[in-house]
Structure 1
Amino acid sequence: MFANERQDRRLDRIERKLDAILAHLGIAEIDTEHVDAEYRPPRPLPVEFAGGMAEVDELLAQGKKIHAIKRYRELHPRASLREAKDAVEAREPRIR
């Protein structure tokens, strides 16, 4: 009985801390009831990398898609090759 109360209090503290972190980072809470297990929300573009996307666009305009993907991965070190390719291809219509 007491163990459950302690766990509930601990879980409440963790949830409050997580809410504070999400609010500080400006991340909206996701409704997990209606989200597929495979869904991963897109990562927000950090402010310091916003200028780098112009370089990606320029490389695409020159027809250097592979270089654009490489540059994207330099700007977003945590992005997988697949994520970088998808992101660069999504930018292609803007260039043409």
Structure 2
Amino acid sequence: MDYGMVLLGVAVLAGVVALGTSATDRRLTRVDRRLARVERKLDAIAEKLGVAVEEPALPEVVALVREGRKIQAIKVYRERTGVDLKDARDAVERLG
């Protein structure tokens, strides 16, 4: 077996995976930016119309906050709402 060819194959495969991952990361970054713009626009529309956007009622999260388990509350909040870590932490802080 020619180990040089095997190493070359592994190197090529690693390069292809790296390129694919990089391209996917760039696409996700663009999607995240677009989503943030859409959310800002929706927030502005809701504010202009006087519509109050309330936090989702999550009794499990409230119970965890009352028990002093903020980290678990943040995890559950993220799972239920799909928000990022900062938004979940901010929401849990508002609850407690």
**TM-score normalized by the length of structure 1:** 0.44
Larger Rg: 2
Higher relative contact order (Cα pairs below 8 Å, separated by 6+ residues): 1
